[in-house]
Amino acid sequence: METALPLAIFVVIALIAFLLLSAKKFVDYSRWSKHSRFDLYPIPKEGAEKNKYGGSYYEENEWWEKGRYTSVATEVTDLAPEMFFIRKLFLHQRALWYASFLFHFGIYFLFGWSIMLLVGGLWYPHPEWVSVIIGIVGYIGFILATVGCVGLLIRRIFSASARINMTPVEYFNLFFILAVLVTGIVSWLGFADPITIAHEILTMSLVNVPVIVVVHLIMLGILLIYIPMSRMAHYAGKYFAFHKVMWDNDPNTAGSKVEQDVIEMNSRKPKDHWSAPHIQA
Amino acid sequence: MSAAQKHWKAKDIAKDVAVLSPPDDLAPLPEPYASNGLEPDYKAKKPEWAERYCASLDGFVALDTLERPENEEAKKEFVERFLVGLEKLFSEVNANTVQPLMLTTDFCAKCNTCSDACHIYLSSNGDELLRPSYRTDVLRRMYKKYFTPSGRFLGGLVGADVDVTWESIARLGELAYRCNLCRRCAQVCPLGLDNGLVAKEIRKLFSQELGVAPTPVHDKGTMLQLKVGSTTGLTKPAFLDNLEFIEEDIYERTGRKIKFPIDKKGADVLVMHNAGEFIAWPDNPAAFAILLDEAGVDWTLSSDMMGYDSVNYGIWYDDVQARKVALGQFKVAKELGVRRIVVGECGHAHKAIAIAADRMTTAEDRVPVESFIPVMADLVRKGRLKFDPSKNNFPVTFHDPCNIVRQMGIVMPEREILKACAPQFREMTPHGVHNFCCGGGSGIALMNSYNFSDYRNKVTARKKFSQIINAFGEDFTNPDVVKYVCAPCSNCKGTIRDILKFYSATSTYNVQYGGLVELMVNGLASMEKPYLEFLQD
């Protein structure tokens, strides 16, 4: 029996690194969350009625006397189609949406599949139906993500307007993901059972791993570490762009949390300063 | 060159050509302008402009204070200063904007969804240089090249491939003024990123670090306002004289003796107008006075140096200037002891004092701010302003000022007013928060140096002109039908005035323009004669 303990350790480290580096990304961006206002309407938390046409509390005469109404429900119902179905792309650039949606939806399935593998790997052995469900989610995820990834690559290669502003690393990213997906498909269809491998990784008893699975797991691990450090970490950025920038329209009223933030903002003492003559004067 | 061939890469910004991408293949205008021959050509360009300034982007000059350095040493120094400013843009000194800036530069997936939302890109027939994300891409690559390990070590592989030279920097600065900061691009971005904001940040770098900004927005803009009280140069004595003249005019035209309340301590409302209205469109502050007088509102104007001009050009290019102006305006309101500031027909003044300045200081140093639109809608709703809609029985379309609508969410009250006083009101397509900018936003309405007004009239305002033509449909070509483009914003109104003149739309097709309050006064049941000049005998 040939042990693959270093590989198991590497996969676990990669998973932890993914989580920690993603968390760091959130922390890094949240450091800058106290800033000026950049309202852009429609803003869903203004409530369902106003959200339909993009209205705000500024439509009310003497708005500050009326009390602030916000709706978390509208925010959630507005955000869900954006998060899961990339609604803005669907509405404004359908041609790209097909590939992008398949790719992202596939990734969501694979993310769910990964969590299921963790559960299935720990709850081992488990009833057959658990394996069946995990298998179905995995199949759907791999198929959608691979088709979407190929679609995105085709666009980046053949669309002139896409091609001109892409950098080599942006092609590399998609090829890298495709390679991970393809090696994953080959591994799990022909060479190993993903739940068994997950179990062996979690119990640090990984043995006799086929070469293709080794290649897949190493590439997957590198990808997990790489994603939070690359542009692919836009899952973190999207939260801030929507919630902390476009939709952050809370007014600075007396005694509000915003007012406390303003006091803190105004007490900042940056080490540097701008140099233009009119600022120095 | 056909726009279809204008596939510019980010690094092309440094390309060694006399003019990178002239706007010579514009989107066609709708009929009758597709065939009536009324669209003027660009004025001839003079070689000395290019010798003195950066005209190498598209042949136009916005940055009329950025002169070509005399020698290589000066060029090198300029590049170094730019890089210092570029680093500051992403640092604590820019904390008020770093988050949205970094999000946009870090995460743009280059899907180009923003392109088709941009009226300038569409008007250029798809010139990639005017793609909203193009200037972001250039800025990102410049930053990456000098300030990130991946850029330093991997260079072009990660996109750190733009040469930072005087020419590329100057072109980037010019490019920041080929954007109206309308933020329509951000509205459609699947990641919520804001290329309009990046254009403003580039302008900021130029102004706050390099001391470079167009004369109309800086020297004759914020600097003049902070010195004499108004970007128009209107001093307090001239302002007071002007009010007297307007009072006389109101009396002559309406028979109403209305005295502008000035510096009335403890008034309910301090009305702040764009001072350009007092000079270019005195009918507008006069209409405000008529409406507020008729409704019995307790209001005042301020004659304080920082109180009679609501504008704040700082929000387009310079946070420091914006802050100075806004805090000065709040101080005036506090000292007068008014309960609220009501902003008149100026879109960017709305955004400046209500949104941009909202987090500059605490409630202790401010008074509540609101738009004139909900105030007027409320007066209409309560019956304090009564209309006879038959007085406005002509086609009216409405231009939504981006700052009031998309960036403040005031959409329905103006429509409520229009429905009450303008029976032939029809919407533009698209409208509301999805409107297209007039083409004059962010200072472009004011910039007329050299040939820049041509650029505005033919490129940035092209989409708006198309919308106006389409909104009036068959009525457009009938000169016997007077048509009114209602634009409750000074800069939008100025831009629309210019395009109607440029395309001879008023003289040929009887297309008029004006604000919302003028239309309201014209429709007042109590008015004996038409208020709008083009309806007078």
Segment B285-336, tens digit of pLDDT: 999 999 999 999 999 999 999 999 999 999 999 999 999 999 999 999 999 9
User: Which tokens belong to B402?
Assistant: 């981006």
**What is the tens place of the pLDDT at every residue in A125-167?**
899 999 999 999 999 999 999 999 999 999 999 988 888 889 9
User: A173 CB near a chain B CB, below 8 Å?
Assistant: no
* B372-381 and B516-523 helices, crossing angle to 10°: 20
- The vertex-A217 CA angle with A213 and A221, nearest 5°, equals 175
Q: Residue with structure tokens 């660009």?
A: B42
pLDDT tens track for B268-279: 999 999 999 999
Phi-psi region of B126 (alpha: psi -120 to 50; beta: other; left: phi over 0): left
What pLDDT is attached to residue A159?
Answer: 87
Contact A58 B354 (CB under 8 A): yes
Instruction: Report yes or no: A244 at the B interface, CB cutoff 8 Å.
Output: yes
Q: Report pLDDT for B459.
A: 98
| % of residues, chain B, pLDDT over 70 | 99
Gap from A229 CA to chain B (nearest CA, Å): 10
Q: How confident is the model at residue B96 (pLDDT cuts 50, 70, 90)?
A: very high
Phi, psi of A221 (to 5 degrees): -60, -45
Amino acid A280: pLDDT = 79
Report the distance separating Cα B400 and Cα B395, nearest Å: 17
Mean local confidence (pLDDT), B103-109: 95
B342-369 mean pLDDT: 97
Distance from the Cα of B35 to chain A's closest Cα (Å) equals 31
CATH of domain A5-30+70-264: 1.20.950.20
pLDDT tens for residues A124-135? Answer: 889 999 999 999
Residue B107 is nearest to which of A61, A237, A259, comparing CB atoms?
Answer: A237
Calpha distance B199→A8 (Å, rounded): 48
Residue B76 has pLDDT above 90, yes or no: yes
Distance from CA of B219 to the nearest CA of A (A): 10
- Per domain, the residue ranges of chain B are 3-209, 222-535
Q: How close does chain A come to B205, measured CA to CA in Å? A: 9
Q: What is the DSSP letter of B524?
A: B
Of B197, B409, B410, nearest to A38 by CB-CB distance is B197
- Report the pLDDT averaged over residues A11-17: 97
Q: Taking a contact as any Cβ pair under 8 Å apart, which residues of chain A between 262 and 281 contact chain B?
A: 262-263, 265-266, 268, 270-279
- DSSP H helices, B362-457, are 372-381, 412-421, 452-455
Amino acid B1: pLDDT: 67
Domain ranges of chain A: 5-30+70-264
A61 touches chain B (CB under 8 A): yes
- What average pLDDT does range A238-243 have in this prediction? 95
Q: Note the pLDDT tens digit of each residue in B113-136.
A: 999 999 999 999 999 999 999 999
Residue A234 with chain B: CB contacts under 8 Å: 107, 109, 191
Residues B31-52 as b/e (b if ≥16 CB within 10 A, e otherwise) read eebeeeeebeebeebeeebbee
Please judge whether A29 and B99 are an interchain contact, meaning their C-beta atoms are less than 8 angstroms apart. yes
Inter-residue contact A207 to A11 (CB < 8 Å):
no
Q: Is A231 on the interface with B (CB under 8 A)?
A: yes
Q: Number of C-alpha atoms within 13 angstroms, CB side, residue B343? A: 31
Mean pLDDT of B457-473: 98
H helical segments located in B10-89: 47-52, 72-89
Please enumerate in sequence order all residues whose Cβ is within 8 A of that of B284, keeping only pairs 6 or more positions apart, or say none: B273, B277, B344, B345, B514, B515, B517, B518
Secondary structure E strands in B74-197: none
Whether pLDDT at B2 is above 80 = no
Whether B150 shows a pLDDT value over 80: the answer reads yes
Mean pLDDT of chain B: 96
A150 vs chain B: nearest CA distance in angstroms? 16
Tell me the pLDDT band of B163, cut-offs 50, 70 and 90: very high
pLDDT band at B435 (very low <50, low <70, confident <90, very high): very high
Left if phi > 0, otherwise alpha if psi is -120 to 50, otherwise beta: which for B80? Answer: alpha
CB A195 within 8 A of CB A118: no
